Structure 1
Amino acid sequence: MALMGIDKAQPAHWLKDNQGALPSIIAVIGVTLFWVVGAIGGIRFLADASSPMAMLTGLYIGLAAVAVSIIIATLAVNDLTRRYARARNRRQR
């Protein structure tokens, strides 16, 4: 396969070179999964609330979770952008 330009060790090599970016990548994937799961099943949870106070509490918890997820996604994307720009600037010099 190496003759055709396909290198099986490439993912392991990429992971070794970009080990510092792994937490940011995991954070972005986690926030994406949070939003997908929330869009699919989050409204159903609030619709099944037994009382208005339970619904209000669920809305406040959901609001806090959304705010925290936006902060985490912003920090992770900022970190990945900074790492990519730094690596790109090094290659251009």
Structure 2
Amino acid sequence: MALLGIETARPARWIKNHLGALPSILALVVVAASWVVGAATAHAYLTDADSPLAMLGGLYVGLAAGAVSIIVTTLALNDLVSRYSRPRRRR
């Protein structure tokens, strides 16, 4: 793999050096995936609702999920920005 210019030790080293940022990065990935899955399934769920009450319940669940995902995204981005905007100390 070294002949192709691909170093396998480099991603492991990056993860080791940035272990504190990993939860925030994973939170952003999970939120992005939930938005994609939610967009793909919400339309089918809401169009096949049997009653207005079921549709209203689905809309409230979607609203709550959207609000929670925005809060999680804001917290994760705030953590990443504060983590990487500080001046670096020399080791």
TM-score w.r.t. structure 2 length? Answer: 0.87
Partner of 1:68: 68
The letter for the 1-side match of 2:58 is G
Identity of aligned residues (%): 57
Partner of 1:33: 33
Cα 1:91–1:5, aligned 2, differ >3 Å: closer, same or farther?
farther
**Structure 2 unmatched ranges of 5 or more:** none
**Aligned alpha-carbon RMSD (Å):** 2.0
Partner of 2:88: 90
Alignment: residue pair count: 89
The letter for the 1-side match of 2:82 is R
> Aligned-pair distance for 1:52?
0.5
- Output one character per residue of 1:19-73: Cα deviation in whole Å (capped at 9) or x when no partner: 1111100000000011111122211111111100011011111100000000000
TM-score w.r.t. structure 1 length? Answer: 0.85
Three-state SS of the structure 2 residue aligned to 1:31 is helix
